Structure 1
Amino acid sequence: MEEQGISAALHTVEEAAVSAANQTVGKVTSGFVSFFRGLLTWENMFKVIGVVLILLFITVVFRLLKKALSKGLATRFDTHQMLLVHKTVHYVYYITVIFYILSVFGVKLSAIWGAAGIAGVALGFAAQTSVSNLISGLFVLSERTMKIGDFISVGGVSGTVDSVGLLSVRIHNTDNQLIRIPNSTIINTNFQNNNFYEERRMNFSISIAYDTDMTLALETLRKVPEMCPTVLKTPASAVWYDGFGDSGINMTLAVWFNPSDLIQTKNDVFISMKKVFDDAGIEIPFSRIDVSILSSAAQ
């Protein structure tokens, strides 16, 4: 009898649990049905159609803006800079669409801006460097002082530009090592671009012995540019005396060339300078010290 009572009690509990579960499922189902019925009203349908049309309009406007920027900046910006402009337009487009959709569905943008303000204060100190680099990157892009392939020197490092981004510039040095330069460093330090202009000048120094005919030395050194195929005729090369040194008379030869011909020009000029002086019998002195011993009268 006791076992029958326990079994009956368990059966009663099971029936109660099943009944409660069915009631809960029924309430949830009816709630979802009521929710979706509430959405499927003529007012909401017209609202959705309006949202779609406005989004299409925004998309068309941004596409026209992108094409206009591409045509207007094509002659001023290189391919990499135009890619950054297109990315910026895309980011603005996505942000505009997201905020419009949120406003349509009743999300209060003031609350979002308030939360963003609090988050901004919390992250402001940690993001100071990134923000500084971002702002500096806009100045770097607007000044257009470099492009991919240029050889630059910044803050004691030099290399060929691989990419110009909003936060940093990436270069590789002559040892083919990657170097990342923050844009704020480029703005706040001396910057040198060896490829910015089509022509570049370089000075070559050399000394001659003190007993050399100085007029002959000038005429001899002027022959060097004609022997170097990469040296430009315009602007013209120049030769001048640059003072008296410890072991000889200092001379300077200045030549112009295309930046891409740097290595060949240096090799050709040095080889030609040595050759013309050897052919003319002009001595290139090395550092030396003359010691004179003065004898005194015997006391």
Structure 2
Amino acid sequence: MSWLQANAMNVLYVVVIAIAAYWVAGMVKRLVIGFGKSHEALDETLFHFLGSIARYAVLVFAGLVVLDRFGIETTSLVAILGAAGLAVGLALQGTLSSLAAGIMLIMFRPFKVGDFVEAAGTFGKVDSITLFTTDMITFDNQHIIIPNSEIWGTKITNHSHHSIRGVDMIASVAYGSDIKKVKASIAKVLKAHDHVLSEPAPFVEVETLNTSSVDLLVRPFTEGAHYFDVKYSLPQAIYEQFRKDGIEIPFQQIVVHNAI
């Protein structure tokens, strides 16, 4: 009697298990991905990854069942696979760390694509978020690819989280300047700027009595999309208004008194 005849039932069993496992694995993957797509708050990239893991888990389980059917001891095989998995994990610990960080970033969403973010020593616009890396475009148009492990382990500043932003800057005037006049001059500039909001009201107050100047903190509020326009256009506008209003702008100086 041939081996095939002796094991006909086992072969048929393997074929049925393989077909069923392939079908179930595909169905489980589609269910996981479909769950991710059905909820806008969940990230599809993560659920595609989880769906693939679920599919392979079903196939591996089916393989163990088939081996057991033929009388092959699977306990030792599982132990060998576990040891091999540990060795691979140790060899790829940096990559796995980025993978774990990528899952955390996708799940907890400290930022999203399109946000202006400062993280891992880089400041720019988030271009894409994958399971292993985050791509950012800097303001000088550089494409920076950062491992997720470096981002998750450091402070993340999301400049796009709130729709309205305060823009802090310092306006310095000479000692002896009329502070009420200075504030009025700054108020003219803020009121005339197209992107400075009236509510919340801008904040303008003396912050520091410096060595050669009186420093005022100027904090107008604007929509996040206009943050950089306000930040880089107001200082020049304030400077020009100070000149028009005859307000002295200080410079570093040393006053020497002659002894009598």
Q: Highest Rg: 1 or 2?
A: 1
| Overall identity of the aligned pairs, in % | 26
Tell me what 2:26 maps to. 59
CA distance in 2, matches of 1:136, 1:84: 12
Normalised by the length of structure 2, the TM-score is 0.84
Corresponding residue of 1:134: 99
| 1:254 and 2:216 matched | no
| Cα separation, 1, equivalents of 2:38 and 2:175 | 63
Residue 104 of structure 2 is aligned to residue 144 of structure 1: no
Aligned to 1:118: 83
Size of the alignment, in residue pairs?
257
1:276 deviates by 2.3
The amino acid across from 1:279 in the alignment is K
Q: Which structure's relative contact order is higher, taking Cα pairs within 8 Å and 6+ residues apart?
A: 2
- Which residue number in structure 1 is paired with residue 61 of structure 2? 99
> Which amino acid in 1 is paired with 2:50?
T
**2:192 pairs with 1:234:** no
1:6 alignment partner in structure 2: none
How many Å apart are 1:162 and its aligned residue?
A: 2.3
Distance 2:147 2:25 in 1: 35
In structure 2, the partner of 1:83 is 45
Is contact 2:170-2:218 (8 Å) kept? yes
- 1:243 and 2:208 correspond: yes
For residues 150 and 235 of structure 1, do their structure 2 counterparts lie closer, same or farther at Cα, with a shift above 3 Å needed? same
Unaligned runs of 5+ in 2: none
Q: Give the TM-score, by structure 1 length.
A: 0.74
Residue 87 to residue 123, structure 1, CA distance change in 2 (3 Å): closer
- Per the TM alignment, residue 203 of structure 1 is displaced from its structure 2 partner at its CA by 0.9
CA distance in 2, matches of 1:117, 1:56: 26
What secondary structure sits across from 1:222 in the alignment?
Answer: helix
The 8 Å contact of residues 67 and 73 in structure 2, kept in 1 or not, is answered as: no
> In structure 2, what is the equivalent of residue 168 of structure 1?
133
Alpha-carbon distance in structure 1 between the residues aligned to 2:194 and 2:208: 29
Query: Which of these residues, 124, 128, 147, is aligned with residue 159 of structure 1?
Result: 124
Runs of 4+ aligned residues of structure 1 deviating over 6 Å after TM superposition are none
Extract unaligned runs of 5+ from structure 1. Answer: 1-30
Q: Which residue of 2 aligns with 1:16?
A: none
- Paired with 2:163 and 2:169, the residues of 1 have a C-alpha distance of 20
- How far the C-alpha of 1:160 sits from its partner, in A, is 2.2
Contact 1:228-1:268 within 8 A present in 2 as well: no
Deviation at 1:211, TM superposition (A): 2.2
Larger deviation, residues 120-129 vs 88-97: 120-129
Is 1:285 the counterpart of 2:250? The answer is yes
Work out the CA distance in 2 between the residues paired with 1:111 and 1:165.
Answer: 36
Q: Determine the structure 2 residue equivalent to 1:23.
A: none
- SS of the residue corresponding to residue 254 of structure 2 reads coil
> Which amino acid letter does the alignment assign opposite residue 213 of structure 1?
D
